[in-house]
Amino acid sequence: MPPHRGPVKVERPELAGSRRTGTRAAGMPCECRSGTVRWTIRKQIFVPFLTLSWLVVVLAMVAVTRVAMQRWEQHTVRQLQQALDAVREARYPLTENVLRQLRALTGAEFVLTDAVGRPVMGTLAVSPASRWLQQTVTGEPGLPATFTGFARRSLGGTEFFVAATRTRDGDGPRRLVVLYPVPRWEAMRRELAASAAGIAVFSGAVVLLVSWRLAGRMARRIGSLEAQVARLACGAFETIAIDGPADELRSLTTSVNHLAGELQRMQQAIAASERERLLHQWAGGLAHQLRNAITGARLALQVHQRRCDSGDRGLAVALQQMRLMEQQVRGLLALARHERPPERPGTVGEVVREVVESVRLHCEHTGVALRFCEPAEKLAAVAVRSRDALHSAVLNVVLNAVEAAGPGGNVLVDLAQEDGRVSIRVTDDGPGPPSELADRLGEPFVSGKPDGVGLGLAVAGYALEMLRGRLDWCRTDGRTSFRIQVPVDAAATVSETARESTPANLLNGATHDAAAATRGPLPAVDGAVVRSPGDACSGPDR
């Protein structure tokens, strides 16, 4: 598996003095209620779209019906005209049989009259006294283009479109009267209208289903956004899946998801600010009381040490633990009061050695093997501007590693120089931080240890801010490595002769409980570690 890496958060939100907000935690009952919606988005989309679609379909069907009827009339009249033209140009005389054949071809009735309008023969029985036969005769040889140009007459209870044309055969000039049944014409109109209505109903049903589906889809997407915004108002900063086409709603969903993430980060920042404010109040008072108590206890031990045997190692251990506690309290006070320690220059080597030797007795007591790889002299002499800030950062990171390793564990401290920075790496073989806290390490009161307080890395991060340094970590091969990186400060110089010597009684720590030997020694962390040929790792080996 690839190693898990992540920065340690050391920044402090600038919201420490803000008031408590009314943000509702996710999961709490929400009082947000939307009003009753009477005219929903679905109806607003569906009703106008359906109305307009039906109107267009009806108008289109009416127009199609009118055009179809007009073309049918033109076609029928053209057939009649062609039949009359054929009769007029025929060389044979007109007989009743010929007229019946014309009726079968065209569906119209035919009556042949003489020059004065008396019926001679036809497919209908017409009274000779019918004066309207004479009135329908025109002087034109052709018929009107449509039935609207025909006269309408009633004969035997049936209405007809009536038109006449002149013809000539062997018996002299005659008139051929054409009678087309109005019921037949109306039946055709009804048939065309029914067909158009069927098409309109089918088209309308398709439009209804499509519009309902589209409106429902839009309404569901908008409803999902509405529910998400309601959850945001109630403090549940959740995101929703982005689906649908690349339209405005998709962009809006993306924006709302982004808003949810920003609100969640703001809520976390406000919560961190509240924790930090509480930390300042709590840590300031507690650290002040602890410092007074530790100072009194240390003075009492020093007085007792003068009265007793100077070779008593137990008193030295107790005094060293008091000094260690005092250093931690000073770091806690600096974090609580935002104090900057005095800028006393120092070297990386001496600071790291002091930290290692100050916690070695604590490691022996807890059963943790602490090893320090002595760096090369050139690397150890690299100067930093504030030795107190570096000491606080290294001390808290090393103590964090010792607690994480636990009894029988191993902790390795080494130095390296990378890209103009000095790296102090502290590696332990403990279980590592929980995955759910990986992105929050360094925040106050964030700890994966059952009895952890979550202040060590926060204090270290604050101290590194003053050095313009940074703290990150990685988890690989079952080991957790924290790396402190500080820039090399060329302006700070330290005399080699001014370095404090480490007490000899603290350098020769004995190997602790052999029960811790179940784990193997930690190798040096991968990377370019600068060492002289004679350098070695100090501390008990396993």
Handedness of CA 234, 235, 241, 245 (dihedral sign): positive
Query: In this structure, which amino acid lies at residue 68?
Result: A
Q: Count the neighbouring beta carbons within 10 Å of the beta carbon of residue 405.
A: 28
CA distance between the termini of the chain: 28
Give the pLDDT confidence score for residue 507 in this predicted structure. 29
Q: What is the DSSP letter of 4?
A: E
Is there a contact between 214 and 45 (Cβ–Cβ < 8 Å)? yes
Instruction: Go through the domains of the chain in sequence order and give each one's CATH number.
Output: 345-538 (3.30.565.10)
Q: Which residues contact 121 (CB under 8 A, 6 or more apart)?
A: 94, 95, 96, 99, 111, 112
Give the pLDDT confidence score for residue 24 in this predicted structure. 45
Q: How far apart are CA 480 and CA 3, in angstroms?
A: 10
Q: How far apart are CA 397 and CA 395, in angstroms?
A: 6
Neighbour-count burial of 257, counting CB atoms closer than 10 A to its CB (0-12 exposed, 13-18 middle, 19+ buried): middle
Per-residue pLDDT 10s for the chain (542 aa) are: 445 455 555 444 333 343 334 444 444 445 444 555 567 777 777 788 778 888 888 888 888 888 888 888 888 888 888 877 777 776 777 788 888 888 888 888 888 877 777 777 888 776 665 656 655 555 455 677 777 777 787 777 788 888 777 776 656 667 788 888 888 888 888 888 888 888 888 888 888 888 888 878 887 888 888 888 888 888 787 777 777 777 777 788 888 888 888 888 888 888 878 877 776 677 666 666 676 777 777 777 777 777 776 666 666 667 767 776 776 677 666 666 666 666 788 888 899 998 998 888 889 888 999 999 988 888 888 888 888 888 889 998 999 999 899 899 999 999 998 877 889 999 999 988 888 777 777 776 677 776 666 777 888 887 888 788 889 989 988 899 999 998 875 434 443 333 333 333 322 333 333 233 333 434 333 333 333 333 344 443 33
At 45 the three-state DSSP class reads: helix
| DSSP state letters, 274-318 | HHHHHHHHHHHHHHHHHHHHHHHHHHHHHHHHHHS-TT-HHHHHH
Q: Count the neighbouring beta carbons within 10 Å of the beta carbon of residue 434.
A: 12
At 528 the three-state DSSP class reads: coil
Is there a contact between 138 and 165 (Cβ–Cβ < 8 Å)? yes
Is there a contact between 389 and 492 (Cβ–Cβ < 8 Å)? no
Give the pLDDT confidence score for residue 1 in this predicted structure. 43
Looking only at the bridges linking them, the beta strands covering 369-373 and 410-418 are parallel
Q: How far apart are CA 88 and CA 93, in angstroms?
A: 10
Is there a contact between 45 and 218 (Cβ–Cβ < 8 Å)? yes
